[in-house]
Structure 1
Amino acid sequence: MMYIKNKVELEEIGYSVLTNLYTESEINKMSTCIKNSEQNGDSFLKTKDVFAIRQLINVIPELKTILFNKNLIDFLPDSSYFSTKAIYFDKPKESNWFVGYHQDLSIAVDQKANLKDYINWTFKKGQFGVQPPIKILQDTITIRIHLDKTDKNNGALKVIPKSHLQGIHRSKSIDWKNETEHICEIEKGGAMLMKPLILHASNRTTNNKQRRVIHLEFCNHELTNPLNWLERQEINLGQ
């Protein structure tokens, strides 16, 4: 069962910060698995500002048993949830990469289909993306695992609390007279729970410190036939 305090925060304000979700040993194992991967193919993106791995568990399956530990599983609402997306982000020490305020509206699916309420189709790096019915986004939980200590100087996420309660909307709708951003600083081995619909952003790195994050998404909804989740992974402890 997800801890009550974190569950309330997630639902009411759209995010919650966790500490010590993983041990130093588990973080080191994750880092080693990623470092030793072949790092080629469409799932890998490498520029001077960011290194990313899409379909992370499909590409590096040995990460699964480390990521899906008891602590993580205990934070999910119930056993009906499964993993739907896994991405690794590495913002290097010298990175000038930043991301403006946005919502996470796209899911990865196995094919394209003409279906009601599935809109804004994309096809990138051999992967279909689509904006699904809003109920799927509302019930999705994102867990961002931090392999490094992250603060305002090396790209910690900024969020607009409670913005997930307003449905799908643009960053232009932020009324800065009535809204205040919050910076989510996370310790190494900690994580951030968040709703995909919360408006969030990140700044450039200014302190010459690396920021590595594993971004996981979980949901309990099946998609409309014939669509399937591209990266679906069951999360039974001990798999």
Structure 2
Amino acid sequence: MNYARNKIELEENGFSVLSDLYSENEISGILACIENAEQDGNPFMKTKDLFAIRQLIKNVPELSDLLFNKKLNKLIADLSESEYFLTKAIYFDKPSESNWFVAYHQDLSISVDKKADLENYVNWTFKKGQHGIQPPIEILQDTITIRIHLDKTDKNNGALKVIPKSHLKGIVRADSKDWNIESEFVCEIEKGGAMLMKPLTLHASNRTTNGKKRRVIHLEFNKHKLTEPLAWLEHYGIKKPVANIV
């Protein structure tokens, strides 16, 4: 179990795909945990096109041990020598009848605990009770996104499309044509697999056309402390993998 190839692909192309992060039983346990926790409240968003749970670990704490299995802990350790921690956890359920699609974009916002007037922190938002902010670019460059797929996902049920190497161009204007759409790659993921991504990688997803669900847990990790008085809204440490003792 070595993720050196995924680390190289993530750095060079801005994304990487792996197939067997979780077993069938582990996925069943994760889904049961989420289903038992579904309730109304500010972190829960329900529409005909999407069900989402924000601040997932805070709102469904039983998920933590299920998500952070040996493979995920080893993956995070292999991706960086630095001390990374979890800064965002969201559950997305794109129902089978969903007409929701997302145009090409970069993930430029992080969630913080308060609003403060600071240099290089721009584009403040306040949605669903959360402050969002575009931080200094080095924080975005050092973010690692891991999207855990609870269903097999292909081009017919909303698999992410990406523009390889687009993360190397920095922040791209939404109306810019400074990328080659012909290089588009569709990230088809097996159930229990995961997609790794840099948030500056241009990505999009289509509507569902095959009547199948696409349930994903979106995790973001970082190593930076934010400029005071700001702090990450979510901040969870990661257990280090324990070496096998013979």
**TM-score by shorter chain over 0.5:** yes
Letter in 2 for 1:158: K
2:152 is aligned with 1:149: yes
Indicate if the aligned counterparts of 2:163 and 2:180 stay in contact, CA closer than 8 A.
no
Match of 1:93 among 71, 96, 101: 96
TM-score by length of 1: 0.96
Give secondary structure in 1 for the equivalent of 2:62: helix
Q: Partner residue of 2:235? A: 232
Q: Partner residue of 2:55? A: 55
Q: Structure 2: which 5+ runs fail to align?
A: 242-246
Q: Structure 1: which 5+ runs fail to align?
A: none
Q: Partner residue of 1:81? A: 84
- The structural deviation recorded for 1:38 is 4.0
Letter in 2 for 1:44: F
Matched residues, number: 238
Distance 1:2 1:164, change over 3 A: farther
Indicate if the aligned counterparts of 2:166 and 2:179 stay in contact, CA closer than 8 A.
no
Letter in 2 for 1:207: N
1:124-163 equivalences under 5 Å are 124-163=127-166
Give secondary structure in 2 for the equivalent of 1:64: helix
Letter in 2 for 1:61: P
Give secondary structure in 1 for the equivalent of 2:30: helix
Indicate if the aligned counterparts of 1:69 and 1:237 stay in contact, CA closer than 8 A.
no
Letter in 2 for 1:187: E
2:224 is aligned with 1:221: yes
Q: Partner residue of 1:71? A: 71
Q: CA RMSD in A?
A: 1.5
Indicate if the aligned counterparts of 2:112 and 2:232 stay in contact, CA closer than 8 A.
yes
Indicate if the aligned counterparts of 2:98 and 2:207 stay in contact, CA closer than 8 A.
yes
Aligned-residue identity in percent: 70
TM-score by length of 2: 0.93
Distance 1:137 1:189, change over 3 A: same
The more displaced of 176-185 and 148-157 is: 176-185
Indicate if the aligned counterparts of 1:171 and 1:199 stay in contact, CA closer than 8 A.
no
Cα deviations across residues 34-91 of structure 1 (Å, max 9, x unaligned)? 1001421110111111101110111000101111112112122135000000000001
Partners of 2:181 and 2:117 in 1: CA distance: 40
